[in-house]
Every structure is written in structure tokens, then in C-alpha cells.
């Protein structure tokens, strides 16, 4: 299946985040990453897996601070992995809703 | 004898102590407030100090003056909270206090040490200042009195911060201040934020972004600071951008009290997890939060603490009677945003509804206008200091309901 075909059957919200986190697969992550110009490495997967785990536990994608506190990925590396804003980009690739952020 | 123990005697803790003192039977209950600082600070006043509008003595009063005489007040550092044992350890005399109910009101404070180069780069309180502490605001006032101009950069490190509109107010007031001093043409003002626009909520972002532009204030968006390099006088972002400054006004990371971390009761920013509607701790049913100390996704503001008051008090009384808590807190916040030249904007919002235009508090009449710059709003903001000292802290009623009302708002 091509990337386009893979993503075709999936519902996204207006900001491009998956509506149903349950429909996510690692293949979808590869396809979404490709759209953002990212080729996923093991280090990306540390972040993506952590983000999914956090979402399952707390119902919210993790903040940058949380990712760097709870994994061995530093803030600097996180920005290298996800240059367009790690919290949002990692959440999108992990098939999670846009992080709610703060008021 | 039962004990209601309140940690922190700032805005939230003082209000709870006063209200509970009226409601609990003093033959059965004792109320204890613990705080390390004998002085109460009117923090909203800190904003005006750098510009000489308020003098430091106008924003400080002894805490004791705002608490009933038969509430026990202990001035001490809180060492450790042990919620599994229903007890709290104090630094003073190694005292241990057993409680039946605990209210955590230890607030939030700035942590400039969280940003590389902020404290140790040689510029701290020379050309880098905060105004979220009385000391920082006072030093900045001294600096501004003789500053002849240059590039003023205000940066917000990361969200959440208390009073999320205060940084915007600061640059609006700076614009006014330099106009008055006749040197506005010698000052560049830059507003740098990790957000994608001036504020978090769409309609308010549009209005406030427009105000920034009209006042000639540059917006640097999506800027997540990685370090301050004071040898080059630039702040750097994680994605490699640099913003040069002559004068840096910082809103560092805001965090909850260290005692929350020591007691392993907080999240990554030391805020205490609590139910966002009942304000009860998610882990201990006799532990409650008010004000900035909790992790609820409401604004960290004195007005919010006031709207939380009714809910916390009601729910503790219900718990005493064996009833379940009511999910009545809706995230209600209202903030005056000073915009300079004796004008202000007022915003009113909650968890579900973003700030909308309209009239407040009386639908259609006002006298205050929502999401619009007016003189009446400015006088409202200045009156707030009087209300704060004389009504709010005493847990008194102001003619505004705790839950947000949609009447009077123009939701198109
Ligand atoms: C510059 C500025 C402008 C603001 N403007 C506005 C505004 O216009 N409108 C508005 O509504 N709000 C405004 N705020 C926010 C408002 O001041 C706070 O949200 C409010 O004071 C929070 O109340 P609180 O009770 O949670 O915390 P606080 O009032 O900060 O009280 C916390 C208390 O806990 C004590 N404490 C903490 N840790 C310990 C410990 N380990 N041992 C002993 N004591 C401890 C502290 O000494 C303090 O007295 C502003 C804040 C700032 C800084």
C-alpha cells in the first residue's frame, strides 16, 4: 500500500491530528513522519512510544518537559528529532490529539 | 478537636481561612495557617512598580491583619507533607501538625535557574530583570528610571505562567511609559512567546495581537528559549533563532512550591494533581487545592482563586457531612489587561468558553466592556487593589458569580 493509500482511509481533525488514536499503527507513523519530512529512527521511536504510553495513562500527549524528564532524550536532541516543535510534531506522528497546552 | 490545616497564607489560603472560620464550629475545629513569610504581597501590583505607578510599600501588608485572631498562624517553612499519615512537618521547632483536612495553597513562583545563563551569565538584575517578585520589580523600576533607550525584549519561557496576561500588560505599559518620558522613538519593544500568537484563545489573540501591532511592538512567536547569552546579549531558541536585547525582561518558568516536590505530591512542574471540577486531590480525599498550587487547566490568577473558593469550601463541608463533592468549578477566570494610556481590556472565560466581547458584570449595561479597550476597564483594574485588600482576602462576596455567565456576551 502506498503512503497516500494508507493515510486516505484515516480521519484527521482540522489541524491534521488523527481523530481516533486507536486506529494508529507504526506504518501510519512512518507515513505521517514522511509528510513532515522526517525519517523515523530508534530515537524518534523512544519519543513516540513514550507519548503513546503517556496518552494511554493520562489522556493527554506529554509536554516537552515531561518527555525530557521521563526519557533519556534531552531537549536539544528532541528539537533535532522534531524540528517543528517536538510536543506537537511527536503527538501528530504518534496519532494523538493536538496537545491541549496551557492557558 | 479537629484540625483544618491550610498551607500557604497568600491569596487562596487567606480566603479559605476566613470563610472556614465563619462556617466551622470553633468548639470543634481549629484552623491553622502556615506560611514562611509574614508579609502578604498584592502581586497584581508588581506589574505597576517598574513604571513608578505603585511604590513597593503600597503592595505589602502584614499577613496577620487579614486573618481572624483565633486562627492560629505559624510563620515557618513547610518541610514535608506526609498525606498518608495526615501530617505536615514544619521547619520551626521541628513541629509536626496532624490534620483532618488539608488545603494546599502554596502557589507558584518563578524559577530563573531553569534557564541556562539566566542567573549565571552576569546580567541578572543588571540588564536582565523579572517583575514577578517584589524585589525584581523594584530593581527594574530603578533601572528604568535612568534608562535612555535601546532594545527591550520581554520573553515568556514556557507555559503555564501565573497571570498569563501580565507579560502583555507589561509591554503595553512600557509603550505608554516611554511615550510619557518622550523617548518612545529610542526604544524598540519586542514580545517573545512560546505561543503561536499573543495569547492562547483565538478571539483574544486577534484583539491583543492587533493592539501589539498598533503600538509598534514586535511579536516573536513560537520561541522556546534554550539559553540566555549575555556576553552577546541574545536569547537563543531551541530551533536555532537568536533575539538580541539591551534590556531583557524575563518571565521564567513558573513552578509550584519545592515542598510539593520533596513530598512527591506534584507533577513535573510541582503542581498538585486535582480534579478540575471538584478541586479535590486525585490521590487523597481529605486534601484540597486552591489557587496556583493545583494542576487544573485554569488560569493561575487571583480572580480564579476567588472563584475556586466557593467550590472548595462547599466541597469540604460536604465531605465532612459524608456527601460527595460537587463538580462546580468551571475554570472561570476574569482578567483586566492594562493596555496603557489609562485604558484596559477585560476578558472573562472558562474551561469551555473563550473570551468573547460583551458587557460585564451586568448583561448589556456593564459598566465594563469585554474584549475591548476602555477607560472604565482601567479604573476597574485600579479599584481591584482596594477590593483585594478589603473584600476579597476576607472571603467576602463581590457582585460577580463564581460560575461564568453567558448573558451579556456576544457569542456570534
Ligand atoms: C506580576 C503579577 C501580576 C498579577 N496580576 C494579576 C491580576 O491582575 N489579576 C489576578 O487575578 N491575578 C494576578 N496575578 C496572580 C495572582 O497574584 C496569583 O494567582 C495569586 O496570588 C495566587 O494565589 P495563591 O494563594 O495560589 O498563591 P500565593 O498568593 O502566591 O500564596 C502562596 C503562599 O505560599 C507560601 N509558601 C509557599 N511555599 C511555602 C513553604 N514551603 N513554606 C511556607 N510557606 C510557603 C508563600 O510564602 C505564599 O505566601 C498576578 C501575579 C503576578 C506575579
pLDDT tens-digit map of B28-82: 999 999 999 999 999 999 999 999 999 999 999 999 999 999 999 999 999 999 9
Please say if A95 is a catalytic residue.
Answer: no
| Residue located via cell numbers 493527554 | A60
**What is the predicted pLDDT for the residue at B181?**
96
Which stretch of A17-21, B8-12, B125-129 has the lowest confidence by average pLDDT?
A: A17-21
What is the share, in percent, of chain B residues with pLDDT greater than 90?
Answer: 82
d(CA B71, CA B146): 46
Which contacts of B147-151 are long-range, i.e. CB under 8 A and separated by 24 or more positions?
A: B147/B247, B148/B183, B148/B186, B149/B178, B149/B183, B149/B186, B149/B187, B150/B186, B150/B187, B150/B188, B150/B246, B150/B247, B151/B187, B151/B188, B151/B190, B151/B244, B151/B245, B151/B246, B151/B247
Question: Between β-strands B358-362 and B366-370, what pairing exists: parallel, antiparallel or unpaired?
Answer: antiparallel
Homologous superfamily in CATH for domain B110-253: FAD/NAD(P)-binding domain (3.50.50.60)
Helix pair angle (A26-35, A86-93), 10° resolution = 130
**What is the predicted pLDDT for the residue at A100?**
72
Q: State pLDDT tens for residues A22-55.
A: 999 999 999 999 999 999 999 999 999 999 999 9
Is the pLDDT confidence value at B397 over 80? Answer: no
Nearest atom, ligand 1, residue B76 CA: 43
Q: Are residues B93 and B277 in contact, defined by beta-carbon separation less than 8 angstroms?
A: no
Nearest CA in chain A to B295: A102
d(CA B33, CA B9): 6
Categorise residue B270: left if φ over 0, alpha if ψ from -120 to 50, beta otherwise. left
| Higher per-residue confidence, B381 vs B2 | B2
**What are the phi and psi torsion angles at B44 (to 5°)?**
-55, -25
Task: Return the residue whose CA atom lies nearest to atom 2 of ligand 1.
Answer: B44
Homologous superfamily in CATH for domain B2-107+257-320: FAD/NAD(P)-binding domain (3.50.50.60)
Three-state DSSP at B248 gives: strand
Q: What contacts A58, CB < 8 A, 6 or more positions away?
A: none
Q: State pLDDT tens for residues B270-309.
A: 999 999 999 999 999 999 999 999 999 999 999 999 999 9
Q: Are residues B257 and B107 in contact, defined by beta-carbon separation less than 8 angstroms?
A: yes
Helix pair angle (A42-58, A86-93), 10° resolution = 80
Is A79 within 8 Å of B239 when comparing Cβ atoms? yes
Average pLDDT of chain B to the nearest whole number: 94
Residues of B with CB under 8 A from a CB of A: 158-160, 164, 195, 200-201, 222, 224, 226, 238-239, 268-269, 297-299, 333
**What is the predicted pLDDT for the residue at A101?**
60
Residues of A with CB under 8 A from a CB of B: 63-66, 69, 75-76, 78-79, 83, 85, 100-103
Is the pLDDT confidence value at B345 over 60? Answer: yes
What b-and-e string marks burial along B26-52, b requiring 16 or more CB atoms within 10 Å of the CB? eeebbbbbbbbeeebbbbbbbbbbbbe
| Higher per-residue confidence, B384 vs B332 | B332
Ligand 1 near B47 CB (within 6 A): yes
For chain A, which residues make up each domain, given as ranges? Answer: 3-93
Q: Is the dihedral of CA B137, B143, B145, B147 positive or negative?
A: negative
For chain B, which residues make up each domain, given as ranges? Answer: 2-107+257-320, 110-253, 339-392
Nearest CA in chain B to A63: B268
Is the pLDDT confidence value at A102 over 60? Answer: no
Is the pLDDT confidence value at B348 over 60? Answer: yes
**What is the predicted pLDDT for the residue at A7?**
83
Q: Are residues B30 and B1 in contact, defined by beta-carbon separation less than 8 angstroms?
A: yes
Residue count of chain B: 412
- Interface predicted TM-score (ipTM) of this complex, two decimals: 0.81
Q: Which helix (H) or strand (E) holds B269?
A: none
Task: Tell me the sheet residues that pair with B227.
Answer: B116, B236
d(CA A12, CA A9): 10
Q: Are residues B245 and B152 in contact, defined by beta-carbon separation less than 8 angstroms?
A: yes
d(CA A9, CA A5): 7
Give me the catalytic one of A4, A22, A57, A102. A102
**What is the predicted pLDDT for the residue at B399?**
61
pLDDT band at A103 (very low <50, low <70, confident <90, very high): very low
Q: Are residues B371 and B203 in contact, defined by beta-carbon separation less than 8 angstroms?
A: yes
pLDDT band at B257 (very low <50, low <70, confident <90, very high): very high
The number of C-beta contacts closer than 8 angstroms across A and B is 35
Amino acid at each position: 500500500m502506498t503512503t497516500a493509500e494508507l493515510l486516505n482511509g484515516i480521519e484527521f481533525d482540522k489541524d491534521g491530528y488523527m481523530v481516533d488514536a486507536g486506529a494508529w499503527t507504526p506504518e501510519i507513523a512512518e507515513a505521517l513522519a514522511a509528510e513532515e519530512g522526517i525519517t523515523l529512527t530508534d530515537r524518534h521511536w523512544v519519543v513516540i512510544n513514550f507519548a503513546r504510553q503517556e496518552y494511554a495513562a493520562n489522556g493527554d500527549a506529554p509536554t516537552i518537559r515531561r518527555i525530557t524528564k521521563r526519557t533519556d532524550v534531552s531537549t536539544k536532541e528532541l528539537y533535532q528529532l522534531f524540528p517543528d516543535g517536538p510536543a506537537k510534531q511527536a503527538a501528530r506522528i504518534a496519532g494523538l490529539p493536538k496537545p491541549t497546552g496551557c492557558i | 478537636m479537629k484540625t483544618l490545616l491550610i498551607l500557604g497564607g497568600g491569596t487562596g489560603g487567606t480566603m479559605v481561612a476566613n470563610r472556614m472560620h465563619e462556617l466551622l464550629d470553633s468548639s470543634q475545629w481549629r484552623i491553622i495557617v502556615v506560611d514562611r513569610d509574614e508579609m502578604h504581597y498584592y502581586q497584581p501590583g508588581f506589574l505597576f512598580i517598574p513604571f513608578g505607578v505603585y511604590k513597593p510599600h503600597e503592595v505589602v501588608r502584614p499577613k496577620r491583619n487579614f486573618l481572624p485572631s483565633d486562627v492560629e498562624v505559624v510563620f515557618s517553612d513547610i518541610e514535608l507533607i506526609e498525606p498518608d499519615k495526615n501530617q505536615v512537618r514544619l521547619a520551626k521547632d521541628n513541629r509536626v501538625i496532624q490534620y483532618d483536612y488539608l488545603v494546599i495553597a502554596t502557589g507558584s513562583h518563578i524559577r530563573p535557574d531553569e534557564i541556562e545563563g539566566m542567573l549565571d551569565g552576569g546580567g541578572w538584575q543588571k540588564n536582565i530583570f523579572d517583575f514577578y517578585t517584589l524585589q525584581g520589580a523594584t530593581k527594574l523600576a530603578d533601572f528604568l528610571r535612568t534608562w535612555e533607550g535601546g532594545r527591550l525584549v520581554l520573553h515568556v519561557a514556557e507555559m503555564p505562567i501565573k497571570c498569563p496576561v501580565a507579560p502583555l500588560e507589561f509591554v503595553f505599559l512600557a509603550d505608554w511609559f516611554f511615550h510619557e518620558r518622550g523617548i518612545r522613538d529610542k526604544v524598540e519593544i519586542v514580545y517573545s512567546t512560546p505561543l503561536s500568537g499573543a495569547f492562547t484563545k483565538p478571539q483574544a489573540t486577534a484583539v491583543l495581537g492587533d493592539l501589539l501591532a498598533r503600538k509598534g511592538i514586535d511579536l516573536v512567536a513560537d520561541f522556546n528559549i534554550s539559553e540566555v547569552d549575555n556576553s552577546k546579549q541574545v536569547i537563543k531558541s531551541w530551533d536555532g533563532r537568536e533575539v538580541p536585547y539591551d534590556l531583557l525582561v524575563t518571565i521564567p518558568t513558573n513552578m509550584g512550591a519545592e515542598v510539593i516536590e520533596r513530598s512527591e505530591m506534584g507533577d513535573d512542574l510541582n503542581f498538585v494533581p486535582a480534579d478540575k471540577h471538584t478541586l479535590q486531590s486525585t490521590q487523597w480525599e481529605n486534601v484540597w487545592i486552591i489557587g496556583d498550587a493545583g494542576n487544573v487547566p485554569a488560569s493561575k490568577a487571583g480572580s480564579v482563586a476567588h472563584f475556586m473558593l466557593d467550590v472548595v469550601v462547599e466541597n469540604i463541608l460536604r465531605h465532612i457531612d459524608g456527601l460527595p463533592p460537587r463538580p462546580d468549578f468551571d475554570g472561570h477566570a476574569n482578567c483586566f489587561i492594562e493596555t496603557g494610556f489609562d485604558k484596559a481590556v477585560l476578558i472573562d472565560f472558562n474551561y469551555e468558553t473563550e473570551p468573547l466581547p460583551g458587557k460585564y458584570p451586568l448583561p448589556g449595561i456593564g459598566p465594563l466592556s469585554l474584549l475591548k479597550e476602555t477607560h472604565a476597564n482601567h479604573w476597574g483594574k485600579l479599584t481591584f487593589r482596594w477590593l483585594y485588600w478589603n473584600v476579597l482576602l476576607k472571603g467576602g462576596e463581590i457582585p460577580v458569580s463564581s460560575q461564568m455567565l453567558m448573558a451579556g456576551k456576544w457569542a456570534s
